[in-house]
Amino acid sequence: MSTPAIAMRSVEKRFGPVVAVHDVNLSVADGEFVALLGPSGCGKTTTLRMIAGLEQPTKGDILVKGRRVNDVPVHRRNFGMVFQNLALFPHKTAFENVAFGLNYRKVEKSEVVRRVQRALEIVRLPHVEDRLPAQLSGGQQQRIAVARAIVIEPDLLLFDEPLSALDAGLREEMRIELKRIQRTLGITTVFVTHDQSEALSMADRVVVLRDGRIEQEGSPDDVYNRPRSEFVARFFGQVNELAGTVTGTDGPHLVVRLPGGAAVKVAATRAASGSSIRLLLRAERVQIGQSFPREPAVSIVTATVVGSDYLGMLARYTVETCGLTLTILQPVSGNVLPNGAAVELRIAANAWMVP
């Protein structure tokens, strides 16, 4: 692999006695879109601010294209950043906001106008140059903030939860827009978020942080389907946790006996027969129905519905099967199943996660 666009080597950040970031090693390839994902207080924003130069690492090095930048001040780094509160200058018009960075880079006046207009076209927001930020809608402000960050042709684009202030519909739209802009320009991007669907839908690679450490990194598919820990599994939605005993193998699958006696097939790593095993199962990876066909890579378990919540597009069922209680998310077609309904659960062997 060529020199990464940005690399963090054993970076640590302390605030007094509090260690916000422990020994983080991270590289981002040229043009890559990386999401730093985690709950609040996991150190994701601090990590981003260290890359930006707004915080100094206590230990470790930050390298841009192989060059150490720890001592390069913020204003010399040439990184575009979009802040959580957008940080638009309230006393400047949209044009002046976008042009701001060009004032500090010897750019000719006619060139400034051309580049600002080009940036506003990229974010699809021309004809608002004369407005003050307070006169723009939330989505328009968002686009101005992005235009302001990209107009300087930055080496790196940094986003600090920029969509958290928007309402749900607009957030979806801006997700697609940001992704499109990033693809169009091919700028290396680091995106901080606590919203797992944002990270999964936008990023090439997701880095899950927990208590200042990297818990897991990988493609969206990796972190979602092959979580290395229960923390990561639970972070991406509702998870059922079960303990079972390995009783043998069935072709490529392990056969695991659950406490109530039901046996299920699990596509998983080797495990000695007779050993105990912990299984995780996503609420949305189970199908509820009647008389499913028997297939080799699928387990069918009978169960009883004991509770349901109607969520609109989905229903959340609580079902019991041989003394186990499972939570299941299911698209609703027709009516929500009544309590006491006898059902079959269809669980694919590869739906099980073994942390």
Partner 1 sequence: MTRAAAIEGALAGLTVALYAFLLAPVGVVVALAFNASPLATFPITHLTLGWFAALTGDPAILKALKTSLVLGVTVSLISTSLGTAAAYALARFRFGGRDMVQMVLTIPILVPHIILGIGLLLSFHLAGLVKSFPLLVAGHVAITLPYVVLTTRHRLEAIPHSLEEAAQTLGANRLQSFLAVTMPLALPAIVTALLFAFMISFDEITATLFWLPPNVQTVPTQIMAMLEYSVDQKINALATVLIMATVALPILAILYAQARAATSRSGMRRT
Show contacts with partner 1 in window 198-227 (CB under 8 A).
none
Residue 282, CA distances (Å) to 130, 199, 230, 327 in order: 50, 18, 11, 9
133 binds partner 1 (CB under 8 A): no
Among the listed residues 318, 312, 314, 311, the one whose alpha carbon sits nearest the alpha carbon of residue 338: 318
What are the residues whose beta carbons fall under 8 Å from the beta carbon of 169, sequence distance 6 or more? none
Selected from 78, 197, 238, 240, the binder of partner 1 by CB under 8 A is: 78
Nearest-angstrom CA–CA distance, 276 and 270: 12
292 binds partner 1 (CB under 8 A): no
Task: Note the residue count of the chain.
Answer: 355
Selected from 148, 171, 253, 282, the binder of partner 1 by CB under 8 A is: 148
Show contacts with partner 1 in window 87-106 (CB under 8 A).
87-91, 100-101, 103-105
70 binds partner 1 (CB under 8 A): no
Is residue 28 within 8 Å of residue 5, measured between CB atoms?
A: yes
Nearest-angstrom CA–CA distance, 57 and 77: 15
Selected from 152, 163, 281, 319, the binder of partner 1 by CB under 8 A is: 152
44 binds partner 1 (CB under 8 A): no
Nearest-angstrom CA–CA distance, 354 and 266: 9
18 binds partner 1 (CB under 8 A): no
Q: With contacts defined by CB under 8 A, how many residues of the chain interact with partner 1?
A: 34
Angle at 316 between CA 220 and CA 39, to 5 degrees: 40
Selected from 6, 11, 52, 288, the binder of partner 1 by CB under 8 A is: 52
> Residue 96 CB, nearest distance to partner 1 (Å)?
10
Stretch that binds partner 1, among 5-13, 86-94, 119-127, 302-310 (CB under 8 A): 86-94
Nearest-angstrom CA–CA distance, 210 and 47: 12
> Residue 192 CB, nearest distance to partner 1 (Å)?
14
Binding site for partner 1 (CB under 8 A): 52-54, 73-81, 83-85, 87-91, 100-101, 103-105, 131-132, 134-136, 148-149, 152, 158
